[in-house]
């Protein structure tokens, strides 16, 4: 087996560098792999909302916490087509569907497969996040034409058990294994700002780095503190820690799309700009993520324009 380039000590040294040295290194790697100003635009839809049996301490959709969220049953196909068509019209090239499940019920998989086919028929890339998968579920999703499966490690193995008790880190890794075995691309990352340390962040990235197939899509979420959840009062994340983590992610995964995901609504424009320089090149556009607020499209357009970056291309064609 060839020795991997990065280990914990090297990552720590990398991340501890003077801020501008780290950003310079990350931007150099970024420019070697992507065009200046390049950005990917994705839109999310919550296809099944709330009443989730899992106890993820950050999540508004967990049935364990009273967050006042209105639960909704599995969406019908026509509503998904309408949402995906609107997303395409607003410039998204990828449509991500999320469900508040521990794992997808077998009876609902045919409808999810039909949703994936409909999204593909519109000429969009497809992504779903449905919780834990068994091997045959992954094969069924692949057969429906699924491009990406989002399943976040969220943090290090050590920190994970302090935020989730209803499943293990191993369960999470096993799902990634099934996704890779079925030939679906892995989208996996984490959340920052849950009280984890810099070492936890590095360990999470190294776990992704050690996967047999390097993830091509890595969401970095900043915790959105949700009233009613155990993390409602988590101390805010230092923006420089977010920017440094993105820089390290870029250096470890030179070719991946790094998705500056949840939390932009609570971020000033200057922090987002630094994140783009450090290597973030994928955004969710649209007023809501799954259930939480996201910046308005017009705000994103103005910011990207100020930075001379790629804008979401308004598209009127059906497919
Ligand atoms: N139930 C599925 C699962 O957990 O894999 C899919 C949906 S879940 C909402 C998708 C991801 O959203 C989580 O893994 C987590 O990273 C992110 N997320 C959920 N609540 C969040 C919050 N309050 N702040 C930031 N990210 C959050
Ligand atoms: C990911 O890592 N972030 C997105 C997507 N994958 C599914 C979801 C963020 C959810 C934020 C809380 C909410 O909207 O409910
Ligand atoms: Fe359920 Fe996913 Fe939320 Fe956890 S993160 S409570 S699994 S919807």
Residue 315 a catalytic site member? no
Question: Considering only CA atoms, which of 6, 18, 15, 5 is closest in space to residue 198?
Answer: 15
3 vs 190 pLDDT, higher one: 190
- The whole-number average pLDDT for the span 4-22 is 95
Torsion, Cα of 296, 297, 299, 303 (10° steps) = 140
Please give the distance, rounded to the nearest whole angstrom, from the Cα atom of residue 141 to the centre of ligand 1.
20
CA 286 to chain centre: 15
| pLDDT single digits (tens) 297-311 | 999 999 999 999 988
- The whole-number average pLDDT for the span 169-198 is 97
Tell me if 220 CB under 6 Å of ligand 1.
no
Q: Ligand 2, closest atom to CA 129?
A: 7
Please give the distance, rounded to the nearest whole angstrom, from the Cα atom of residue 145 to the centre of ligand 1.
23
Residue 163 near residue 194 (C-beta atoms within 8 A): yes
Name the DSSP class of 192: E
Q: What is the CA radius of gyration of the chain?
A: 19
Q: Ligand 3, closest atom to CA 101?
A: 1
The answer to whether residue 319 scores a pLDDT higher than 80 is no
The sign of the torsion formed by the CA atoms of 91, 275, 4, 187 equals negative
For ligand 3, atom 6, the nearest C-alpha belongs to 62
CA 198 to chain centre: 19
- The whole-number average pLDDT for the span 51-56 is 94
Q: How far is residue 191's CA from residue 268's CA, in Å, rounded to a whole number?
A: 18
Domains of the chain: 8-306 (3.20.20.70)
The answer to whether residue 1 scores a pLDDT higher than 60 is no
Q: How far is residue 90's CA from residue 56's CA, in Å, rounded to a whole number?
A: 32
Q: Ligand 3, closest atom to CA 61?
A: 3
| pLDDT single digits (tens) 210-255 | 999 999 999 999 999 999 999 999 999 999 999 999 999 999 999 9
The ligand 2 site (C-beta within 6 Å) comprises 44, 60, 96, 98, 129, 150, 152, 189, 219, 221, 224, 261-262, 289-292
Count of beta carbons in the 10 Å neighbourhood of residue 181: 14
Question: Considering only CA atoms, which of 59, 124, 58 is closest in space to residue 91?
Answer: 124
Please give the distance, rounded to the nearest whole angstrom, from the Cα atom of residue 270 to the centre of ligand 3.
30
* Ligand nearest to the CA of residue 64, numbered in listed order: 3
Q: How far is residue 188's CA from residue 129's CA, in Å, rounded to a whole number?
A: 10
**Residue 86: both structure tokens together:** 């609107």
pLDDT band at residue 2 under the 50/70/90 scheme:
low
- The whole-number average pLDDT for the span 57-63 is 96
* Ligand nearest to the CA of residue 44, numbered in listed order: 2
The answer to whether residue 66 scores a pLDDT higher than 70 is yes
Q: Where are the alpha helices (DSSP H) in 56-181?
A: 77-89, 109-121, 135-143, 157-163, 169-181
Please give the distance, rounded to the nearest whole angstrom, from the Cα atom of residue 13 to the centre of ligand 2.
30
Burial class for 2, CB neighbours closer than 10 Å (0-12, 13-18, 19+): exposed
Burial class for 174, CB neighbours closer than 10 Å (0-12, 13-18, 19+): middle
């Amino acid at each position: 087996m060839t020795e991997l380039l990065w280990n914990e000590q090297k990552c720590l040294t990398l991340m501890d560098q003077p801020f501008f040295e780290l950003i310079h290194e990350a931007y150099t790697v970024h420019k070697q792999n992507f065009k200046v100003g390049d950005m990917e635009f994705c839109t999310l839809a919550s296809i099944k909302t709330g009443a989730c049996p899992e106890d993820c301490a950050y999540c508004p959709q967990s049935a364990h916490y009273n967050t006042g969220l209105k639960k909704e049953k599995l969406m019908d196909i026509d509503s998904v087509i309408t949402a995906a068509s609107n997303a395409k019209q607003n410039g998204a090239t990828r449509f991500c569907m999320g469900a508040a499940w521990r794992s997808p019920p077998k009876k609902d998989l045919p409808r999810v497969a039909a949703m994936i086919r409909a999204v593909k028929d519109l000429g969009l890339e497809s992504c779903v996040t449905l919780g834990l998968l068994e091997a045959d579920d992954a094969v069924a999703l692949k057969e429906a034409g699924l491009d990406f499966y989002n399943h976040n490690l969220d943090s290090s193995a050590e920190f994970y058990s302090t935020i989730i008790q209803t499943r293990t880190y191993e369960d999470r890794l096993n799902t990634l294994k099934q996704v890779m075995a079925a030939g679906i691309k892995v989208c996996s990352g984490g959340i920052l700002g849950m009280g984890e340390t810099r070492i936890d962040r590095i360990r999470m990235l190294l776990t992704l780095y050690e996967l047999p197939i390097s993830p091509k899509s890595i969401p970095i979420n900043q915790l959105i503190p949700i009233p009613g959840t155990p993390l409602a009062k988590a101390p805010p994340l230092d923006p420089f820690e977010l920017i440094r983590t993105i820089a390290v992610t870029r250096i470890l995964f030179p070719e991946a799309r790094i998705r500056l995901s949840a939390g932009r609504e609570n971020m000033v424009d200057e922090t987002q700009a630094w994140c783009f320089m450090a290597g973030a090149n994928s955004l969710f556009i649209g007023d809501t993520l799954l259930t939480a607020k996201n910046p308005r499209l017009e705000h994103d357009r103005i910011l990207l324009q100020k930075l001379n970056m790629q804008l979401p291309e308004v598209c009127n064609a059906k497919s």
